[in-house]
Amino acid sequence: MYLFIFTLLLVVFQYVNSKNILDAYNVKYERILGQKESYKDTISELRDQVLTLSEFKLDQTEAAMSYFEEQGYNVAELIPFIKDEIYELNLLKTEEHPLIPYASMTEGKMLINSIRILNHKWIITNFSDGKYWGELLLYYEITENDELKFKLIDSFLYQTQ
């Protein structure tokens, strides 16, 4: 009789314990499925953002790449060259940057921080002196002597609060 009661209690204990473990796994599984769906949505949104951001890039625009390839340039080498030429203008020992039409209003010098080559003719950059910042739209061309020439199309300086 004791053995029967003990066995019955053991079976009930095992049943309850197994049921609790199974319920916990089911809850965890449902939560993971929910996270998986939200991650899929996030990945889809990020892909859309990457596609949108790559619309205005020289190395993503077939017509602009073809323009340079027809002239005998390797676009993979040309993009870093153009950026380096602009960044080298930051190193000039003059007080004012040759491309930035604004004088620094702080102790520092206006410097170009980042560059985005839009296509085979235009570049957009941002600049700052540490406190004030703005953006430039530049026209560029490679001359017959393989020299890089820049022309300022437009610029603006953000208002500070």
CA–chain centroid gap for 123, Å, is 17
Q: How far apart are CA 4 and CA 10, in angstroms?
A: 10
83 Cβ contact partners less than 8 Å away, ≥ 6 residues apart = 115, 117
CA–chain centroid gap for 149, Å, is 27
Q: How far apart are CA 59 and CA 65, in angstroms?
A: 7
For the chain, domain boundaries:
2-55, 57-157
Residue ranges of the alpha helices (H) in the chain?
2-53, 62-70, 75-90
> What confidence tens digit (pLDDT) does each residue in 35-90 have?
998 899 999 999 998 888 777 788 888 888 898 899 889 888 999 999 999 999 99
> What confidence tens digit (pLDDT) does each residue in 102-150 have?
888 888 889 999 999 998 999 999 999 888 999 999 999 998 888 899 9
Flag whether the pTM goes above 0.85. no
